[in-house]
Amino acid sequence: MTFEQFETLSFYLGISALFLLIGLAIKDVLKTGDVPLFGKIMVWLVLFLGCAGFLVKGLIQVFF
């Protein structure tokens, strides 16, 4: 494994860990707050779209 491959893998693992921690924090805030169902759906949709954009960006870089 070259240094560039290690660096790329570490970057992607770090970003994935950040998404996980953000998700856990949002789950805790939504659980303790008085958030209506529509608000919860919007929050999770935005988080999912951010993750999906990150994954699509990675796939585009690999295949194109």
Core vs surface per residue 35-64: b (16+ CB within 10 A) or e = eeeeeeeeeeeeeeeebeeeeeeeeeeeee
The pLDDT-based confidence of 1 (bands split at 50, 70, 90) is confident
7-63 pLDDT tens trace: 989 998 998 899 899 889 999 999 999 899 999 999 999 988 988 998 898 889 888
| pTM: predicted TM-score of the whole model, two decimal places | 0.66
